[in-house]
Structure 1
């Protein structure tokens, strides 16, 4: 099945296997490059999209775009020639780029999860620490973290070699040496399993926060005229967030878990049971992760859709839903954020809503286009200020009524 030829091992597989892989790699590369390029194009065309949280989405699009454009063409050409044709240096550069951009995408997913966890569950703290400068600093840390793991095989901790059908390259997880085994284990832990655990924890906390908010909205609904609308839209918002979070975690696991399993099998000393197909297929699936994120994080975002529908003639079908529906969603989101901010501002402010304040907050949030897990710190700050002002007014009125009652008793 395999024959040693110095730098790489020649594999004896049917020619159609290479052509099938080439077809899927071509599709992955085309969709990945196009989808992520559209996200970057929308980001640069619409200034309203250049917010701190959207910088993470932009960084994800950049890393996925670079992943697709540096990996798929070379992978495709090698599949057509049925072997690696770019030499040892080309293999190292190819594998380095794949590791750098792939790890960056995964760690960026982790940064997005933590960022949204803080904004949804701790909105007051998020107002204080979230800014474009700090977001850019976190993005730089993401790239430096990924760069450190990617440079390690070039500096002697493991190495980069051809894999699978010998048409792509990755780190050497097959050869059983202390350096290779330690690198494989540490890479799987600190780039896959630990980030996956943190992402799952963040989304679990967001689910619980939204569930508590929905229950409190039911109680709040009995005190205002819009109770039915609030309850209905809060449930829709909760389910939309649940589905997005579910897709995020599932795609993350499905894209990289086959690759992680193969590397851990080889790490455990059972690499002999792995054939070229079992090594090549997980590599293709992992590279396909570059095509999912644009749809999950950007295409579902209404402002991205509107920008693309306006700027790209063939994407008119992405146009936003009618404004009436958006207003309903904005009313539900304003109620949710209003409640979450009130939880952390003061425990004693449990009855802060009146119909007049609901009208004010609806006006504010109808001008801010957000997805259920997005945020606008400036608007949140304004909303908290309005609530504080109203609370102080109510407190003042209560004190005046109390003093008048005391005078009447006297």
Structure 2
């Protein structure tokens, strides 16, 4: 009898030790990696720990000892239960992945299972931002397209590139901001796997078209200012070929993820989708490396090269004008032709500002992608938000820049939509700048 009691005590003691071991193991994982999914890590799970981590009524039932872990108010399951979708997390932890629909769980990288849900305030702010930016971008770019295409004096080959830029920005926000508003409302991607891939494809396509449109605009400024009268003016055929080539090439670069060269997946905040930068295979990473060169580094090099010589040409021209004025004893030699050159320089600044804003907008995406490949430990759901925020804001910059700084566009806008016009202080300067923007086109038409 005593032996049976002793054996029973020893058995209970062993079970308690094993349970304590499980608790310590789980706490160690939490302290080092957040709420990491044990199954995803391939960690040991005893029957006792398995029993403790089972779900109850479609929700995550927390281990009794998790009360020791201090959680903020927005991570309280009771608060979230009323507003969130049912949990589909197969690992039993409470994470940002918890409410992701089952049909896209296979697309979610195990890296995201270690992060607790984001503060609902982030989703609210992101949704508000997307609504404001969406309406401003769609309306602004539509007005740019409408004014340029309905004003004869603005139908120059160079301005076709501007229209293409506005068209790309318009499509990006028109097609992408409504889905993001919906996912922010539900705090997860609820539109299915196919639309996740389509959303990411659109973002990649329109973003790539935008940057290459900016590159062509920059090269046109380089051609006009650096080469001057010796340059061959951009023709309508040349502009259309550049536009068509841009769409075809970018389409070719954005389709491979559908066929296995990388893939489109939900991002860490689960409200948007993009390229898979957490996949560690050489094939997947090779796509991102090549894409970064094609979409970011080559355009950046071309832009820096072009503007270096643009600034150099402008400085040389200004120095020549000052020297001649000093020799002749006059204050300025600025005749009509020199004023045209000065206007071109001002418009070059507009183009440079637009390109700079574009790179500011898309650099966060590059940083996120490369961080995911080189040091994924710093990539968090909140960190992944900034790529979408800056990229979507870029679609608002361009119509504002051209409305304020493009003289002839401003004049046309004042005639067609007086309520949106930005009146300048110097009409002569505006007219001079307007004349210079179409000088190359007029030479082509007269030839």
TM-score bracket, normalised by the shorter chain, equals 0.7 to 0.9
Q: Does 1:262 align with 2:325?
A: no
Q: Does 1:7 align with 2:107?
A: yes
Alignment of 1:178-327 (within 5 A): 178-221=282-325, 227-228=331-332, 230=334, 240=346, 243-244=349-350, 246-268=352-374, 270-297=375-402, 299-316=404-421, 318-326=422-430
In the TM superposition, residue 244 of structure 1 has moved relative to its aligned partner by: 3.0
Q: Does 1:93 align with 2:93?
A: no
What residue number does 1:359 align with? none
What residue number does 1:42 align with? 147
Q: Mean Cα displacement is larger for which, 93-102 or 374-383?
A: 374-383
In the TM superposition, residue 98 of structure 1 has moved relative to its aligned partner by: 1.0
Preserved CA contact (<8 Å) 2:265 2:274: yes
In the TM superposition, residue 162 of structure 1 has moved relative to its aligned partner by: 0.7
In the TM superposition, residue 219 of structure 1 has moved relative to its aligned partner by: 3.3
Count of paired positions: 340
Please point out which of 433, 439, 447 is paired with 1:376: 439
What residue number does 2:189 align with? 84
What residue number does 1:105 align with? 210
Q: Does 1:58 align with 2:163?
A: yes
Q: How far apart, CA to CA, are the structure 2 residues paired with 1:255 and 1:203?
A: 19
Q: How far apart, CA to CA, are the structure 2 residues paired with 1:325 and 1:50?
A: 21
- The DSSP-based 3-state class of the residue aligned with 2:382 is helix
* Structure of higher RCO (CA pairs closer than 8 Å, 6+ residues apart): 1
Query: Against the structure 1 CA distance between its residues 7 and 69, is the aligned structure 2 distance closer, same or farther, given a 3 Å change threshold?
Result: same
In the TM superposition, residue 273 of structure 1 has moved relative to its aligned partner by: 2.5
Q: Does 1:74 align with 2:137?
A: no
Preserved CA contact (<8 Å) 2:343 2:429: no
In the TM superposition, residue 166 of structure 1 has moved relative to its aligned partner by: 0.6
TM-score of the superposed pair, with normalisation by structure 1: 0.75
Unmatched runs of 5 consecutive residues or more in structure 1: 334-367, 386-410
Preserved CA contact (<8 Å) 2:169 2:395: yes
Preserved CA contact (<8 Å) 1:185 1:267: no
Preserved CA contact (<8 Å) 2:214 2:355: no
For 1:82-111, what per-residue CA distance to the aligned partner results, in whole angstroms no more than 9, with x for missing partners?
111110011111111111111100111111
Q: How far apart, CA to CA, are the structure 2 residues paired with 1:225 and 1:234?
A: 23
What residue number does 1:345 align with? none
In the TM superposition, residue 249 of structure 1 has moved relative to its aligned partner by: 4.3
- The DSSP-based 3-state class of the residue aligned with 2:136 is helix
In the TM superposition, residue 201 of structure 1 has moved relative to its aligned partner by: 0.9
In the TM superposition, residue 77 of structure 1 has moved relative to its aligned partner by: 0.9
What residue number does 1:174 align with? 278
In the TM superposition, residue 227 of structure 1 has moved relative to its aligned partner by: 4.8
In the TM superposition, residue 272 of structure 1 has moved relative to its aligned partner by: 2.8
Q: How far apart, CA to CA, are the structure 1 residues paired with 2:402 and 2:418?
A: 22
* Larger Rg over CA atoms: 2
Q: Does 1:136 align with 2:236?
A: no
